[in-house]
Amino acid sequence: MTTYKDMQKWEPWIAILKASKITQLAMQKWMAVVSSARELNVLKGIKSTTKELNLLSGFQGEVMSTDDIEVAPMISGRAFTATLYVSPDGKQSDGSTWAKAYTTIQKALDAASTDANDCTLIMIAPHATYYDIDTTGDPTWAGNYELVGSHRLWAAIRNEHATATSVFKFTGKVGLKDLAICTEDSVDGVIFTKSGYRIRNCGFNSSGTTGANTSIHIDGSAAAIRGGIIEDVQLIGHVTHTTGLYMNTATVNTTNMVNFKTCLNAIQIINAGSDGNYFLNTEIGDCAIGFNIDAGNGQHIEHVDFHDNTTNVDDEVGDHHWAQIHGAFNISITPDNFTGVAVDTGDGADTWSALATIYTDAGSGPFRLIGTHVDVGTSEWYRLQLTDDDTTYFDDLMFDANKREGSAAPSGTEHIFNKGSVIKGRSKSESAGVDGLDVWLEIQMI
């Protein structure tokens, strides 16, 4: 049971409730219902008075009957200036309650304010089949909205107009939550042109498309887009046609907990201004290309699982930050011969040699160094240091050539090297003179 003390964390409404002299019992009933059902309609069965219900319901300054009780302005934590409702069972009235709900999403969007200082919450009820935007081209809305459904599988949205090119295009500040965007033919999903976009708990399905399409298009071609978040999203595409997430001039945006499946490009980044985006806790599977990075510097890619992709990473830039990258990645020894690369010691006891190039990456994506193999010229102690920037050394091996285990050593570095990296090495031994040292590296391509 919710206690009066528990209520104190529900600011700013608690102050209004106290001032209204509503009984603590009524407040507890209200909070219990809000926590579980998100609607005060349920309160009709709890024998609260109409006066209490009116005071508890949205605080819009109007008297409402128990049939019209709503709490939508309270469920997100955001500041909304208006709330509209969409339901297939609505009366297509003014959208102010579920009973008066619009029956189409586009009606609610058309009715919502386009004032830059307003933000409209649009609540979307489940639908037995789907909502059809039924609008030509890119249906565009310029206001600030948060569109909220009940579950990513309970309110599918399509645009089945014969000349449609996308489901939604938003040029204002917009968030999507608990919705499903489904596309066919060559229709795109959703297009954002404003910073601060939000997509949470949504699903995108373009598996039935027959031509090129994009599920989520972050379009900063007019002005760079910053501070967007995509989180807890499931995205299924068509492996021949779909780009899951397309980012154009987008910087410092976060994509977290997203699953990409069967896409042509799971994630494609273009334009030199697309810098410093974060991709976290993401799974990419059964795609032609996982990350297709055509431009943009310093992406942060962490905790990503790759599986069953034709190409995991196609990177044209090569200066990104990689960590905790997982998958069934193959290992090969380079050079592919029994000669190795000569990294002979310096001329003198305990004297480093000049740097020698051991490996120059020519792959399409990042790689790991898994191990190092050596063949020595004399029986004594050696050291071998490896670098990818000619200045700092990411690995330092010391081995006794008299011992068999000294001939092959695993790499202790967690470093993930960018495409095009060059691995060099230098060596020294305990004796005077130049001593021979041949090196092979075990490379794991990501």
Question: Do 385 and 298 share a structural domain?
Answer: no
Final residue before a domain boundary, out of 273, 297, 328: 328
Q: Is residue 166 part of a domain?
A: yes
- Side-chain half-sphere CA neighbours of 250 within 13 A: 31
Residue 13: pLDDT over 90: no
Pairing of the two strands 437-445 and 341-342 = antiparallel
Domain match, 313 and 339 both: no
For the purposes of burial, counting CB atoms within 10 Å of the CB of 63, is it exposed (0-12), middle (13-18) or buried (19 or more)?
exposed
Specify the pLDDT at position 402. 75
pLDDT of residue 15: 55
What is the per-residue pLDDT for 403? 57
Clarify whether residues 90 and 228 are in a common domain: yes
Closest to 85 measured CA to CA, from 77, 76, 95 = 95
- Which residue, 290, 306, 328, sits at the end of a domain? 328
Task: Say how many domains are in the chain.
Answer: 3
pLDDT digits (tens, 9 = 90+) for 420-445: 999 999 999 999 999 999 999 999 99
Average pLDDT score over residue span 300-326: 97
In a domain, 277, yes or no: yes
Answer yes or no: is 283 within a domain: yes
For residues 370 and 271, state if they share a domain.
no
Q: Residue 384 sits in a domain of what CATH number?
A: 2.60.120
- Please report whether residue 71 resides in a domain: no
Same domain, 242 and 343: no
Task: Say whether pLDDT at 308 is over 60.
Answer: yes
Q: Do the domain assignments include residue 383?
A: yes
pLDDT digits (tens, 9 = 90+) for 165-197: 999 999 999 999 999 999 999 999 999 999 999
> What sign has the CA pseudo-torsion 84, 120, 169, 264?
negative
- Determine which helix (DSSP H) or strand (DSSP E) holds 105, and give its type and residue range: helix 105-111
Residue 365 has a CB neighbour count (10 Å cut-off) of 24
Q: Does 44 fall in a domain? A: yes
Residues 6+ apart with CB under 8 A from 25: none
Question: Cβ neighbours of residue 87 under 8 Å, at least 6 residues apart?
Answer: 98, 101, 102, 103, 124, 125
